[in-house]
Amino acid sequence: MPVGDLLPEIVILVGAVIVVLFTAFAPQQRQDWAAGLTLVILGVASVLSLMQWQQAPGLTFSGVWALDAPAIVAKLLILLSGMVVVLLSPDWMHSDRRHGEYYALCLFTLLGVIMMASASDTMELVLGVLLSSASSYPLVAFHRAWPPALEAGMKYFLVGALTNALLTIGVVVLFGLVGDTDYQHMAEALGESGDGAPLALSIATACIVVGLSFKLAAFPAHVWMPDVAQAAPAPVAALLTVAPKVGAAVALARFVSLLPASQIWPAIVALIAVVTMTLGNLAALRQTDVRRLLGWSSVSQSGYTLMAVVVVGIAPQALRALLAFLVAYALANLAAFSVVTHLRGRTELDDYRGLACRQPLAAIVLIVAMLSLVGIPPLAGFFGKFLLFEVTIDAGYPWLAVVAAINTLVSLYYYLRVVAVMIFKTSQGETHVLGLWSRLAMLISIMLLVVASLGVEGGLAVMQSIRFAD
């Protein structure tokens, strides 16, 4: 068992322990140093992950851990999201006496999400989901003196407890059906059994899909997302609207690629995709709270993500479309939340009146991020959605692409409403911003989004033959 295959994850784990020990003994005025330490840890893990790109796709640790391109791309995107979130955090958390441990919780959350994306065994998948969930619950309610944060944390915990139980039930049923938790052995057993146990397999699949829908913030486990986006600390909202979605999308695509083509799971996932994107967009139409609007937007984006999952075993380019869309979504959403954080978490739509005059840089970043989220060319979000539509149509699901296109038109309204308020409404007083760290995070996120938009052709060429390890 080559331990070197898990060097990025080991660095994160050991680093999280070091951060915990540091914050336990460091004085209050030195708690900010944990942010710099966390950035170093994430940077080292990112470099080690990049070094794994040249390796041939394969499985390690007795087949329970995948070292393939989807896992590495997801890992890099998760680590990048973590670095942006850590940059947003020092100014926001400075007044909290115990905020040093916040960074350790972020590292454990990221480690759990990376485990989800790399898991090639159902027990490994459950472990990743539970680790990311258990470490992110306290992050949502970190401002424990603010009732909305406590309410959001409790809703997040209750929904997570239910869906994690369903995930575990599905894994147990599947184990009883095939006699193994390893994906490779499961695929062989399911291929041999054919339709021998369709009911049991359908129950297990449904439970696992619902369990992962919690991390995706997809229907029916989506209800926590708007509350978390609105009431959690703004950097935490940025983290939980991006990182778990990336890990869960890759984990779900990896799992459904094992299932027999004759099963009804594509129809189930397609239905969930339609309900998720439609519900998210319709709910966002009536929001006057920008953070809650971004929360419902995140729900709708999960619906688009599931389009690639539906056709992952049918369309050869489904994985490439999925990862391209996740990259575009993650960068745009991080940019949007970096602006919200930089503006000290201002959340009412009226707070953004005339922002283009008062804070032109923040307004430009938010406008570009929202245009990318809706899918306006030549931004990365357009190419991500275009690839999703292309593979969905090629795989024989044109009706799903039509529904997604209609939902995209609907989303145009609420994104442009925020843009119109910033540009055309009269300014209302002075706007106070957070600090240098949040400004730096905002600049980095928008630069990454612009670079991704300009370099989309090269990125797609790199991911041309991307596939899961056998």
296, 228 Cβ separation under 8 angstroms: no
What pLDDT score was predicted for residue 261?
67
pLDDT along the chain (470 residues), means of 10: 82 95 86 91 94 80 85 94 94 81 94 94 93 94 89 94 94 87 81 64 87 92 93 94 95 87 79 95 92 95 94 86 94 94 84 86 93 91 92 92 94 93 79 83 93 75 66
5, 61 Cβ separation under 8 angstroms: yes
What pLDDT score was predicted for residue 62?
79
111, 142 Cβ separation under 8 angstroms: no
Sequence-ordered list of residues with C-beta below 8 angstroms from that of 296, at least 6 positions apart, any chain: 225, 226, 280, 281, 283, 284, 287
Helix residue ranges, H only, 286-379: 290-310, 318-342, 355-358, 360-374
Cα separations (Å) of 267 from 17, 66, 170, 270, 307?
44, 27, 18, 5, 11
Q: Is 317 helix (H, G, I), strand (E, B) or coil?
A: coil
What pLDDT score was predicted for residue 195?
52
What pLDDT score was predicted for residue 144?
85
Q: Is 64 helix (H, G, I), strand (E, B) or coil?
A: coil
